[in-house]
Structures are given as C-alpha cells and as structure tokens.
Amino acid sequence: MAVTEAVAGMDRRSRKQRGRITLGNAAIAALAGMGVLFGAVLSGAAASPSSPTLTLASFSFDATPPIGHPLCGGWIKPLEAVDEPLLGKGIILSDGRTRVVLCALDWCELRTASHDLMRRKMAEAAGVPESQVALHTVHPHNAPMADLRAQELIERETSPPAHLDVAFMHAAAERAAAAVRQAARQMRPFTHIGYGKAKVEKFASTRRIPQPNGKVLVRSSSAKSAALHAAPEGRIDPWLRTITFFDGPKPLVRLHYYASHPMSFYGDGRGSPDTPGWARARLEAEEGIPHIYFTGCGGDVGAGKYNDGTPEARAALIERLVAGMKGAIAATTVAQATALMWRTADVRFARRVEPGFSDARLQQVMADPKAPVARRLNAALALAFYERLAARPTVEISCLRIGPVWMLHLPGEPFVEYQLYAQSLRPEAFVAVAGYGDCGMGYICTDAAFAEGGYEPTASLVGPPSEQRLKSAIAQLLDGGAER
C-alpha cells in the first residue's frame, strides 16, 4: 500500500527543539480559570523566526433535505418534519505550505460517488488535492444516506424504490463548496493546540454481547429488554476527546471525537443530527465558538444498554454527551502548534466472496420489483461499491499530526477495535479517530466477527483479510510520523 506525506514548515529536529511554549502569567491564569492545563514547557514565549504561518477558518453549511426525501437510504420513513437542521461543519487548516480540510456532515452516510462528488467540490473550493480533504458523516439515521451511483443503477429497473434526490445531492455539494470557498478567504492565525479527554458516563455499550457458545447477542442503539439493559457495557472506548485551536489564550474552534452510534431513536420521519447535534449546539451557544463533532469507530457500539428509545432517554443521553464534552474541555492541556504533518495510505479491502455477494445475484435482487425495498436498495449499494473497487481497488485513509495531537481519518463503519488499536500504537500521544469517511463498504468488522454472527457481518461488503490490511495502513500512518 502506498503512503504519501506532506510535512511543511520545518524539519523534525527543529520541531523537537521547540516543544511547547510558555505563555505569560495573565494568559495562564485566564486559561486556568477555564479549567485548561499547560504541560511542562520550554522557556521563551515567542516562536522562532522559522516557525510556520499557522492559520485556520471554520465553516458551516445547511444540508437539510427537502420534505419527502428518503432517510437512511430509503429504508425508513421519509422526511416529514425537521426538528433540527442537518449541517456540514468543518475547518480549514494551513501552515503556509500545506492546507487541509476536515468536515463532519450530519448525514447517515456518504458512499462512493456521492462521497467523491462532495469531496471533489470541497477540494476545488479550498485549492487543494482531494487527498487533503477528510470528509466524514456523523451517522444519525433520520438523515440521508447518499450514493449517486447506486441511484443511477436502481432507477434503471422496474418500479425502483427511492434512494436519493440527485438534484439535492448536487445542490448540497455546491453549498459545501461555497462554504469552503468563503472560509478560505477568511483564514486567521492560530498559535496553540489543546487536547483533553473525559469519560462519557452511561452512553456507549457494545452492540455485540458475547455468548458462551462463541456467538453474539445483538443489542442495537435502543432496547426494551431488561436483559439487554443489564448486560455489560462490553468493549468500548469510553473517552470523548476534544481538540481546541487557540489564538494565544483565546479558543477559536473545538473538535470532538466519540465512538458510538449517535442515534437515540429514529424512523419517525423527523430529521435531526440526533444527540451530537443537540450537544454541539448547546456548547456553541454557551461559548460562542464553533464546535464540530466526529463520530469515531462506533460500528459495533451504540447506546442500547442505556436507551429505551423514549424522548426522556434521548434527553438524558444528550446531557451525558454535553458533560463529556465539558469534561474534556476542562481537562485540556495546551501546546504550541507546529507545522502540519499530513499523511495518506491506500487500503485494498477484500470484497465478500459468498454467493449472495456476487454481481449476478446482486443484480437479480436489485431488478426484482417484488423483492423487499431494503434488499433492492442494499443490492444497488453493493453493486455501486464493487464497481468502484473494480475501477479503483484501494480506499484512502489519512492522518493529520500537529505537535502531540494525531487525527486519524477512517472510512466505513469501523469496529471500535480499530480505534483502540490506533491508540495503542501511540500511547504517549493524543490520538483522535474519526470513522464514517467513504462508507461504500458499510461495516468494517474484525475478521473474527464473521464467525461470531450478529448484524454487522451481514451488512458488510468487505471481509477477511481486511482487518489486517486496515491495521497495517494505520500502523504505517502512525509510525511514519514519528520524530527521529
């Protein structure tokens, strides 16, 4: 697999020498009052003349679909009302040589051609290669799941079910580009980067409860069963991680990362970004700065242990997410920002080889007007992804490093194993992981999951040895950025 790197502004030796920065007593006191901690630092408040010119701009755009638009790809009730607008929120970062765009969209998923379209439009607007745009979805289910190629395939068939309004998809991509273009004209300096984490209590739990026979019991994002509520949390990452960009002591924008399906309930036709959207909006109102939320490797993690799908449970989940965000902000350590180190790697995922995943069988299901809507749509999505793999056999992942902070960007719905693995490679660093990039492959399971059963392996379009291949690429990104 190919690994490419953009390192701008200074060599590794000069970055090591500069380390962190001491601010004046007044600035430290002000930040301490906000609960922000400074690590041990070198003396001297001013950056060296060779320091890079660090700038940023945040952006936001409305991506709410029109009434009647399919939600979750067409599997559930279409949009009847909007409880909260669906937004795309992101940040442009530059050190004078390298510029990158990070964006989280309040949609269920962007797949293959739809991900390509919006990413390309954003890259053109920012004046960067597409490989320097990390575009992710937050994954609420009362929101669009979009694949332009799947829509093209299924609309050729008899009585095709609705998946995506093509005109709306293109309009959303143009709005994304306009927001990025405007932000790129309004870049402002940043000097420091903050990083902190806090546990989110009583939110995340595994969706795959191990059983004595080696199989798993499924616990979805909400559950009514007392037995499912009583079962252990299981394997999760309980930490919400927050990254803050500062200009001196002033926070400019915060990025939050947490690994769980975000849904409290869905399927009622009421569009919203669900728990992260409401939590994010709460903090934005309180602080007056942008907050951007990335869903981590939550493919096998949801709120089912603590959620019965009621409005009361939703309210409690939002409060717990807000508490986690505030806790991570209070635990923030601040370091002088350094030049951007941006790296990408290509992963060759293995397509499923079972008979049900053959092109012929998928085509047969998609073309059958008597087949269930969900099966026809799933077949179209699978054919679109396999067609993409035939044309472009690899999927890109990326990593951005700024000083002690590493931001890893992964595709699909990755199991939490990949996030925990990435963090284990850099135990001394702050590693934040965003999943739900190009979601063409659906779930990215562990290889063992296919023998364990459960829902996720039935919906994944990639199988063994994809786990080893993805982990190898992650290791290359996180190891290759080490200082020597």
How high is the pLDDT of residue 179? 98
Contact 57, 83 (CB under 8 A): no
How high is the pLDDT of residue 199? 98
- The CB density around residue 49, as the number of other CB atoms within 10 Å, is 5
> Residues 15-30: pLDDT tens digits?
333 333 333 333 333 3
How high is the pLDDT of residue 123? 98
Pairing of strands 188-189, 55-62: antiparallel
How high is the pLDDT of residue 7? 44
Q: Domain map of the chain by residue range?
A: 3-480
Write phi, then psi, for 426 (nearest 5 degrees).
-135, 65
How high is the pLDDT of residue 112? 98
> Residues 302-350: pLDDT tens digits?
999 999 999 999 999 999 999 999 999 999 999 999 999 999 999 999 9
Give the 3-state DSSP-derived string for the chain, with helices as H, strands as E and coil as C. CCEEEEECCCCHHHHHHHCCECCCHHHHHHHHHCCCEECCCECCCCCCCCCCCCEEEEEEEECCCCCCCCCHHHCCCCCCEECCCCEEEEEEEECCCCEEEEEEECCCEECHHHHHHHHHHHHHHHCCCHHHEEEEECCCCCCCEECHHHHHHHCCCCCCCCCCCHHHHHHHHHHHHHHHHHHHCCCEECCEEEEEEEECCCCCEECEEECCCCCEEECCCCCCCHHHHHCCCCCCCCEEEEEEEEECCEEEEEEEEECCCCCCCCCCCEECCHHHHHHHHHHHHHHCCCEEEEECCCCCEECHHHCCCCHHHHHHHHHHHHHHHHHHHHCCEEEECCCCEEEEEEECCEECCCHHHCHHHHHHHHHCCCCCHHHHHHHHHHHHHHHHHHHCCCEEEEEEEECCEEEEECCCEECHHHHHHHHHHCCCCEEEEECCCECCCCEECCCCHHHHCCCHHHHCCEECCHHHHHHHHHHHHHHHCCCC
Segments of the chain scoring below 70 in pLDDT: 1-51, 480-484
Nearest to 131 by CA among 322, 313, 344, 394: 344
Tokens standing for 383?
Answer: 């054919």
CA distance 374 to 390: 24
Confidence (pTM): 0.91
- Name, in order, each residue with C-beta under 8 angstroms of 448's C-beta and a sequence gap of 6 or more: none
How high is the pLDDT of residue 75? 94
**Mean pLDDT of the residues in the chain:** 91
How high is the pLDDT of residue 263? 94
User: Which strands make up the sheet holding 133-137, listed edge to edge?
Assistant: 133-137, 99-105, 87-94, 55-62, 188-189
329 exposure class (CB count in 10 Å sphere: 0-12, 13-18, 19+): buried
CA distance 33 to 319: 23
210 exposure class (CB count in 10 Å sphere: 0-12, 13-18, 19+): middle
- The CB density around residue 213, as the number of other CB atoms within 10 Å, is 8
How high is the pLDDT of residue 51? 66
How high is the pLDDT of residue 52? 80
130: left (phi over 0), alpha (psi -120 to 50) or beta: alpha
Half-sphere exposure of 451 (CA within 13 A, CB side): 5
How high is the pLDDT of residue 479? 86
